[in-house]
Amino acid sequence: MEGTNTKNYEVIIIGGGPAGLTAGIYASRARLHTLLVESALLGGQMTTTEMVENFPGFPQGVTGDELSRLMEEQAKKFGMEIVTQEIIKVSIEEDMKVIQTHESTYRCEALIICTGTEYRKLGVSGEKEFAGKGVSYCATCDGAFFQDNKIVVVGGGDSALTEALFLTKFVKELTIIHRRDALRGTKIYQERVLTNPKIKFLWNSIVQEIKGDMIVHSIVVKNVKTGEIKEFETDGAFLFVGLSPRTQFLKGIVQMDGGGYILTNEDCETSEKGIFAAGDCRKKLLRQITTAVGDGATAAFSAQKYLEEKE
């Protein structure tokens, strides 16, 4: 059911990660009446990143939480409004875009989608049952609960490697489980994990089941080359096996690829006039804070041009 309150804006941004916050800075500075809708914490996945080393202007690195706070402060400075609500539906009425949350209905002329991604689930037995009881998708959120424990990290990309390195601050021993025989992450992260004395490796392996009683006690692992199955004792399993875009609510509204990523041109324009996409939710080569920021600026400028041409 639609919320009882209806408000009109020139620009609405869905998602408060680096793309959304940057779009907010640009749209607000252009003196466009702008609203940002975020269902959780501003900053998105950036807030759960312990240290960002590759964002220009911070030679010593900056915590994801601090970078999020600075971006939020800057966006608010120029007058952007922010609400914390969950989107339940997006629809189009003539050239207006209608965004419904549980509390309200918002209408806008230009809509910028910056919903990002979420960690993909393994889909194995025990994963759902032990979520928050030994199964985690966020090292900075849960790492401290595993002080002096023995844990596993599943995955071989940047997320798995950076989270594994962070977890070595707490755990006694950590095993990276990867379905291939070589890591996929950035070389500097590979160098760090391969030389860390706390980190071991289980190559060519996939998790088939997560077991325990009230909490996780073991995982069942299969070797993809030999077919051998064995049970591996562990106090926790951190899963980083890829990302899925948060775009389900946009099906039928804009064109997406088979994985649910929004298709755009280089100006961040989608298949629907007046709807733009920025950041990790759109189909692109590189998903980083720097590219999200660039997308956010481009999308906001494209939205501004769209509104000017409508007049």
Q: d(Cα 232, Cα 218) in Å, to the nearest integer?
A: 5
Whether 148 is catalytic: no
> How many Å from the N-terminal Cα to the C-terminal Cα in the chain?
33
* Residue carrying structure tokens 């922010």: 82
What are the percentages of helix, strand and coil residues in the chain, rounded to 5?
25, 30, 40
**CA–CA dist 183, 161 (Å, integer):** 9
- How is 137-168 classified by DSSP, letter by letter? S-HHHHGGGGTT-EEEEE--SHHHHHHHHHHT
Q: Which of 142, 235, 280, 295 is catalytic?
A: 142
Is 138 an annotated catalytic residue? Answer: yes
Q: Find the catalytic residue in 65, 95, 114, 138.
A: 138
CB 112 within 8 A of CB 125: no
Active-site residue 142, yes or no?
Answer: yes
Residue 222 in tokens: 């299969």
* Catalytic member of 95, 108, 114, 141: 141
Please report, as a single letter, which amino acid is at residue 115: T
Burial of 127 (0-12, 13-18, 19+ CB in 10 A): middle
Known catalytic residues?
138, 141-142
